[in-house]
Structure 1
Amino acid sequence: MSDTILSLEKADLTLDGNAGPVDILKDITLDVRRGETLGLVGPSGSGKSSLLMVMGGLERATGGKVHALGQDLTAMNEDALARFRRSHMGVVFQSFHLIPTMTALENVATPLELAGHADAFDRAAEELSAVGLGKRMNHYPSELSGGEQQRVALARAAAPRPEILLADEPTGNLDGPTGQTIMDLLFDLNARHGATLILVTHAPDLAARCSRTIRLVDGRLDRQAEAAE
């Protein structure tokens, strides 16, 4: 399909555990459409975050194929994957992963500078203003609340204008009202930039806002749940 931006074909993920190999993902076949919002749901330990990492090339599938924007991620080495993510993907984690010795502005601008954007600081300031931190951009992470730090992480992910935005439990460390604000900002990024949004969540209200949800059980897609929607 011409509108498919990311696809997995019989993708597996097996990792070494203390007692031997552990099958994390099994026979995942899935197409993600350009511009859609896709929620990955399921019980703890079902493989949701692992699937997100495989989609972003942060974990390498041990079987099958993963394609994004027509490129075979399973054939790329680590350097090529890093360049691909830098150019085409934004990632937001439950933990904010900000550099503590850099201001909010520097945290957002530095990846843009490394990618060769001459307007790195202007673009960083624009994105921080868009997430409501126009007056806080010269503050360090330790001077920001948890919700503000997650806003910085969102701005950092959005600033390169990625085609694909991956979010792993983005509201998991936040209280209810703050989490609601982050939810609104995530979907605003999808609306403003047209990015395909794929997110892992345990929050039913967040999953309900997605245009489609996929449920995982024991590392497999729950096709019955998908068919029932």
Structure 2
Amino acid sequence: MSEPIISTEAARLTLDGNAGKVEILRGITLEVAKGETLGLIGPSGSGKSSLLMVLGGLEQASAGQVKVLGRDLTGMNEDQLARFRRDHMGVVFQSFHLIPTMTALENVAIPLELAGHDDAFERARAELDAVGLGARCDHYPAQMSGGEQQRVALARASAPRPEILLADEPTGNLDGANGAAIMDLLMGLRDRHGATLVMVTHAPELAARCDRVLRLKDGKLDGQLDGEQDGQEAAR
């Protein structure tokens, strides 16, 4: 059996709050296989987004181990983590995080330029074509709808051909039609690039399309769900 592309062992996350230390994650142990699509669901405050951030090295685990592509993220400093994400991960947030003073093409080309690709703008244009925005390359975020901005964010995350895609409520700020379109695009990008996808979602339709769904509650894993149960639990 091949080594999992992502694994955690008793991972904990403790942050400073107004009333002292707050335990966000309480000993998470999981494995994600290469090419798998894993959904993370659970009530607000259960630790879903925090777990995703820990898997991406955007938050450092306070204790335990987090391994991605055989590398221990807990042993890296911030610069090392940033380079690791640049080279191996794409991250999609609920709130898009586009640079407002840059065009769609420039937003998508940035990670490619930072990674040293000479064909950054050609690849960026191809990714925007793939998400149906070839005609919007020169538009700024303020000139685009929410659904279009999320398409740009998807193109930006997938342009470097990452081994891992992390998505935090990718349809959370969109209406039903745009959410369904983004869901199709996200699964299409996963299939086209062969990436492993881990995402946080409350959308039952999106959870139901995952290979596996894990539920979190109070910072702990609260079981694995299958079939119709995925969508029912995500909707709660």
TM bucket normalised to smaller: over 0.9
Deviations 1:132-181 (A, max 9, x none): 00101111111111000000000000000000000000000000000000
1:224 CA drift (Å):
6.6
Distance between the aligned counterparts of 2:224 and 2:117, measured in 1? 46
Partner of 2:93: 93
| Matched residue type, 2:17 | G
Q: Which runs of 5+ in 1 are unaligned?
A: none
Partner of 1:57: 57
1:225 CA drift (Å):
5.1
Task: Confirm whether residue 103 of structure 1 aligns to residue 103 of structure 2.
Answer: yes
| Matched residue type, 1:26 | R
| Matched residue type, 1:138 | D
1:115 CA drift (Å):
1.1
Change (3 A) 1:141 1:114: same
| Matched residue type, 1:79 | D
TM-score in terms of structure 2 length: 0.94
Partner of 2:167: 167
Change (3 A) 1:208 1:224: closer
CA RMSD of aligned residues (A): 1.3
Partner of 1:146: 146
Partner of 1:156: 156
Distance between the aligned counterparts of 1:114 and 1:60, measured in 2? 23
Paired residue total = 228
Task: Confirm whether residue 66 of structure 1 aligns to residue 88 of structure 2.
Answer: no
Helix, strand or coil at the partner of 2:60? coil
1:65 CA drift (Å):
0.3
Task: Confirm whether residue 136 of structure 1 aligns to residue 136 of structure 2.
Answer: yes
TM-score in terms of structure 1 length: 0.97
Task: Confirm whether residue 118 of structure 1 aligns to residue 118 of structure 2.
Answer: yes
1:223 CA drift (Å):
3.0
Q: Which runs of 5+ in 2 are unaligned?
A: 231-236
Deviations 1:24-72 (A, max 9, x none): 0011000000001000000111000000000000000001000000000
Distance between the aligned counterparts of 1:223 and 1:52, measured in 2? 17
Partner of 2:234: none
Distance between the aligned counterparts of 2:87 and 2:156, measured in 1? 13
Distance between the aligned counterparts of 1:223 and 1:148, measured in 2? 35
Change (3 A) 1:7 1:163: same
Distance between the aligned counterparts of 1:169 and 1:67, measured in 2? 23
Helix, strand or coil at the partner of 2:8? strand
Task: Confirm whether residue 10 of structure 1 aligns to residue 10 of structure 2.
Answer: yes
